[in-house]
Amino acid sequence: AGPCDLYSSGGTPCVAAHSTTRALYSAYSGPLYQVQRASDGTTTTIAPLSAGGVANAATQDSFCASTTCLITIIYDQSGRGNHLTQAPPGGFPGPESNGYDNLASATGAPVTLNGQKAYGVFISPGTGYRNNAVRGTATGDAAEGMYAVLDGTHYNGGCCFDYGNAETNSLDTGNGHMEAIYFGDNTGWGSGSGSGPWIMADLENGLFSGASARQNAGNPSIIDRFVTAVVKGGPNQWAIRGANAASGSLSTFYSGVRPSVSGYNPMHKEGAIILGIGGDNSVSAQGTFYEGVMTAGYPSDATEDSVQADIVAAKYAITSLTSGPALTVGSSISLRATTPSFTTRYIAHTGSAVNTQVVSSSSTTALKQQASWIVRTGLANSACFSFESKDTPGSYIRHYNFELLLNANDGTKLFHEDATFCPQAGLNGQGSSIRSWSYPTRYFRHYNNGLYAASNGGVDTFDAAASFNDDVSWVVSTGFA
């Protein structure tokens, strides 16, 4: 049985079931998600390998070969048509044209389930999915449950990496108009013990970690790579539960009455579904989603415990984030452009500006050093890499407003994330394409001889689709210096 079969047996059926990694009903063999490729704008659907099984990631890999792909639709497996698509602007606009949010890269969150490759939904700040025209989700004070499987190491303090019930007009319509799982280390409202991240409930105008509207010491910081997050709510009762999604059972972090702050009892749920954003389309948060559901009715702890056992049996595990030519930590490298007429140019820096310059064996020592980079273990993720300047030790290539800069490592989590990149086989068939870990739609790209973290066909001039594959493909060699 899959998670939704278990919820049905418990009398609290799924009314929305989303996953890019697997079927959530044992009999489900329909679409899991849709991807769109940049090369020709066409889409394809990814389905399970077999009924109830893991997503057929090979379909995506062949469809997206030599180009980039975005996740355009996350299908609802419950049969109610509650699919998630690109979120529209609300109280806040997203970064795409017309204020829409970004779509997620189809390759930002690779994992294996029982040894089979699949992809999660890697939400960078600015990315969001939503359905404001739902059927069957809880409204008003009606009871519901939900769970999500997330990456416990991918989070931030922005508002708000959520999955669950929100406003149907994408605006903040007041206390109690949401009931969603939140994951991250935002401390602007509630918090738990330690420094986070925490599983909290976004009930609108507040992230609640338990009985108190502020800190609840019984809500622990999460340390697991894969985490199961549970929130459920009904008339004057709600609960937060959590577990390592790869082993063990759920713990209850809070179970009790509604917050005493005005507006949350009774609730005013509206029933829209959000992923990766706040109810009002706040878009500053990040996180990774693998699977999740919403139910009708308040699931029993026993039902949720059986769902957790099913998640553990799915055996989520990490897999490689890189491909293409190998990099050796500690070595000095230079990176040559492959775009025709630019093939004598290498990634270099002039002060804090990262650019391309013509470099050869007869260049000055200074220029050779400016075009040489020491490969370091990724500052934010040891499965990827960071690039330290040869001539300015302690300074790394990082993106800032999606320009590449050479900046001193200031030790912050944001700097580490901005300076972590995951190379893959070059999109034009040459060398390597160097993808941002934190914004996996974006790659090292030269544009007018400047360097950017560019997305294929995005809103900035340096995102231009023309010449994208060539501009993001670099031949890596031993460093000039």
Catalytic residues: 204, 280
Sign of CA dihedral 413, 129, 198, 302: negative
Shortest distance (Å) from residue 204 CB to ligand AHR: 5
3-state secondary structure labels for all residues of 14-31: EEEEEECCECCCCCCCCC
CB 117 within 8 A of CB 317: no
Of 10, 196, 206, 276, the residue at the interface with ligand AHR (CB under 6 A) is 206
Of 185, 418, 463, 470, the residue at the interface with ligand AHR (CB under 6 A) is 418
Closest to ligand AHR by CB, 270 or 471? 270
Closest to ligand AHR by CB, 110 or 279? 279
297 lies in the binding site for ligand AHR (CB under 6 A): no
Shortest distance (Å) from residue 278 CB to ligand AHR: 3
Q: Which residue has the tokens 């009930």?
A: 203
Closest to ligand AHR by CB, 245 or 454? 454
CB 141 within 8 A of CB 263: no
CA gap 421, 122 in Å, rounded: 15
Binding mask 125-164 for ligand AHR (x = CB under 6 A): ----------------------------------xx----
Closest to ligand AHR by CB, 22 or 130? 130
53 lies in the binding site for ligand AHR (CB under 6 A): no
204 lies in the binding site for ligand AHR (CB under 6 A): yes
Q: Which whole-number Å values give the CA distances from 320 to 107, 118, 325, 333, 349, in the listed order?
A: 11, 12, 13, 22, 30
Scanning 296-358, the segments in alpha helix (DSSP H) are: 301-313
DSSP codes of every residue in 442-475: EEEEEETTEEEEEETT-SSGGG-STTHHHHT-EE
Shortest Cβ contact with ligand AHR: which residue? 278
DSSP-derived 3-state class of residue 317: strand
88 lies in the binding site for ligand AHR (CB under 6 A): no
Of 151, 280, 463, 470, the residue at the interface with ligand AHR (CB under 6 A) is 280
Closest to ligand AHR by CB, 358 or 414? 414
Cα pseudo-dihedral 457, 458, 463, 465, rounded to 10: 0
401 lies in the binding site for ligand AHR (CB under 6 A): yes
Binding residues vs ligand AHR (CB under 6 A):
159-160, 172, 202, 204-207, 278-280, 282, 399-402, 414, 418
